[in-house]
Amino acid sequence: MELKNGRFEIQGVDLEKLCQKYDSPLYIYDAQIMKKQVDTLLRGLSGVNCKIKYAMKALSNISVLKYLKTLGVGLDCVSIQEVRTGKMVGYHPSDILFTPNSISFEEIKEAVAERVVINIDNISILEQFGHEYGDQVECCIRLNPHIMAGGSVKISTGHIDSKFGISIYQMRHLLRIIDNYKIKVIGIHVHTGSDILDIGAFLQGAEIIFDAAHSFKDLKFLDFGSGFKVPYQEGDISTDVSELGDQLAIRYKDFCIEYGKELEIWFEPGKFIVSESGILVVRVNSLKTTPASVFAAVNSGLNHLIRPMMYDAHHEVVNLTNTEGHKRIYTVVGYICETDTFGSDRKLHDVREGDLLAIKNAGAYGMSMASNYNSRLKPAEVMILDGEDHLIRRREELEDLFPTQLEIEC
């Protein structure tokens, strides 16, 4: 998003005119940024035999998935529905990693039938898998490394009290099950959390996964998950992927010599690829002054972007309509009948009723976590590709709320 001659645009497309065309609220994605982020990963991790598996839970629009496929990116899926969506848009099963948690064995069987790579993070499920398939179906094992990493406990997945992964302290039990059922393990997976700035957390996880790998003789890949941090506000910084790649490559080469062959290294970025590509544009419904605050109330809410309320996430807010003059302090709130705040005490150019505000870094876990709470409708989505805007999801209408509901006689 660039300011040119007093107007904000993406790839030369004027954002105010875009909202005149498609109305608001409106999700807008910049495909150019997605490509830049993928290129950053591939360049930074070029010292290892790296494969990128996009975590599609971050943003699962089928046009986004198709575009990322053109960049040579595979998929990381956490539900059988994501698996089937990925296959529907053309991903080969071998390019899809199925990494669920807390599911039934029935869903595992469905994923086996889809011929994707299965990632197992539960001893009970692993035993059932061994009993059902023995050495006939390959799988990956997700380990919990007991590393506290990420922005907060809400987004850290590798600590000792996490529901994710099989504890490294259960390794002896794990290996007995694998040996007893002759399970063919082709991958080991570790994911410690999200918003990881310190590459030391990745390297600590790398040592754990390299050490564990020597207990498995048929490995094809090691999966380091993701958690790369992106900047959310001015002065914020992101994970240094190049430095991580340089340091990881040194240890990786030594490991491959020790193991006797070169393994692929997989990463599963979601937020890193799409977060900065997306903005949510909303319109100011009203201004309300109280003894403590000036509220800018907009035509959206936590039903469209829940991260600020769910994770205390910071998203920069910009006034698209008024780009000059004095700045005043506003609290930007939504129209949902809950405490529903996008941002408190934000310095914005004078806000007027009817102005358009852009909420930045909304590409990840925005639309994919949207709901119809308060019977509100989901917004449209637009992707800007090669300087042209494409509607990739139409705006919902009231009738879209009812197709799955059944009316009874009263």
- Same-domain check for residues 179 and 286: no
> Residue holding tokens 């529907």?
88
Number of domains composing the chain: 2
- Same-domain check for residues 227 and 367: no
Most confident region among 136-150, 196-210, 222-236, 291-305 by mean pLDDT:
291-305
Q: Tell me: the pLDDT tens digits for 253-272?
A: 999 999 999 999 999 999 99
- Longest Cα pair distance anywhere in the chain, in angstroms? 73
Alpha-carbon distance of 224 to 188, in angstroms, equals 9
What six digits make up the tokens of 251? 């240890």
Alpha-carbon distance of 164 to 161, in angstroms, equals 9
Alpha-carbon distance of 332 to 301, in angstroms, equals 10
Task: Say what the pLDDT of residue 286 is.
Answer: 98
Would you call 261 exposed, middle or buried from its count of C-beta atoms within 10 A (0-12, 13-18, 19+)? Answer: exposed
Residue 350 has pLDDT above 80, yes or no: yes
Task: Show Cβ contacts of residue 273 under 8 Å, excluding neighbours closer than 6 positions.
Answer: 34, 37, 38, 41, 54, 58, 68, 73
Task: Say what the pLDDT of residue 155 is.
Answer: 41
DSSP type of residue 163: S
- This prediction has a pTM of 0.92
- Same-domain check for residues 238 and 116: yes
Instruction: Let me know: does 8 contact 323? Beta carbons within 8 Å.
Output: yes
Round the average pLDDT of the chain to a whole number and report it.
93
Residue 152 has pLDDT above 80, yes or no: no
Would you list the DSSP string of 171-211? HHHHHHHHHHHT--EEEEEE--BSSB--HHHHHHHHHHHHH
Is 35 a domain residue? no
Q: Tell me: the pLDDT tens digits for 12-64?
A: 999 999 999 999 999 999 999 999 999 999 999 999 999 999 999 999 999 99
Is 252 a domain residue? yes
- Domain closes at, from 269, 284, 311: 269
Please give the residue range of the domain that contains residue 168.
Answer: 60-269
Is 410 a domain residue? no
Q: Which CATH number characterizes residue 153's domain?
A: 3.20.20.10
- Same-domain check for residues 119 and 197: yes
Is 88 a domain residue? yes
Task: Say what the pLDDT of residue 239 is.
Answer: 84
Task: Say what the pLDDT of residue 197 is.
Answer: 67
What six digits make up the tokens of 112? 């086996």
Is 54 a domain residue? no
Out of 108-117, 193-202, 281-290, 401-410, least confident range: 193-202
Out of 203-212, 273-282, 380-389, least confident range: 203-212
Task: Show Cβ contacts of residue 78 under 8 Å, excluding neighbours closer than 6 positions.
Answer: 55, 57, 98, 99, 100, 101
Give the mean model confidence (pLDDT) for residues 394-401.
Answer: 98
What is the β-pairing status of strands 221-223 and 26-30? unpaired
Q: Helices then strands (H, E): number in the chain?
A: 11, 21
| Gyration radius from the chain CA atoms | 23
Confidence grade of residue 193 (pLDDT, cut at 50, 70, 90) = low
Give the mean model confidence (pLDDT) for residues 248-257.
Answer: 93
- Same-domain check for residues 71 and 194: yes
Is 69 a domain residue? yes
- Same-domain check for residues 322 and 185: no
Task: Say what the pLDDT of residue 194 is.
Answer: 60
Alpha-carbon distance of 340 to 334, in angstroms, equals 5
- Domain closes at, from 254, 269, 284: 269
Closest by CA position to 219, among listed 168, 272, 259: 259
Task: Say what the pLDDT of residue 81 is.
Answer: 98
- Same-domain check for residues 150 and 213: yes
What is the total residue count of the chain? 410
Alpha-carbon distance of 156 to 140, in angstroms, equals 21
Q: Tell me: the pLDDT tens digits for 154-179?
A: 444 444 667 888 999 999 999 999 99
DSSP type of residue 379: P
- Same-domain check for residues 331 and 225: no
Confidence grade of residue 204 (pLDDT, cut at 50, 70, 90) = confident
Give the mean model confidence (pLDDT) for residues 353-366.
Answer: 97
- Same-domain check for residues 126 and 86: yes
Go through 88-121 and write b for each residue having 16 or more CB atoms within 10 A of its CB, e for each that does not. Answer: ebebeeebbbbbbbebeeebbbebbebebbbbbb
Would you list the DSSP string of 271-284? HHHHGGGEEEEEEE
Confidence grade of residue 149 (pLDDT, cut at 50, 70, 90) = low
- Domain closes at, from 269, 289, 309: 269
Confidence grade of residue 195 (pLDDT, cut at 50, 70, 90) = low
Is 22 a domain residue? yes
Is 40 a domain residue? no
Instruction: Let me know: does 293 contact 365? Beta carbons within 8 Å.
Output: no
- Same-domain check for residues 126 and 232: yes
Task: Say what the pLDDT of residue 162 is.
Answer: 73
Task: Say what the pLDDT of residue 148 is.
Answer: 55
Would you call 149 exposed, middle or buried from its count of C-beta atoms within 10 A (0-12, 13-18, 19+)? Answer: buried
- Same-domain check for residues 197 and 116: yes
- Same-domain check for residues 190 and 229: yes
Confidence grade of residue 214 (pLDDT, cut at 50, 70, 90) = very high
Give the mean model confidence (pLDDT) for residues 344-362.
Answer: 97
Q: Which CATH number characterizes residue 280's domain?
A: 2.40.37.10
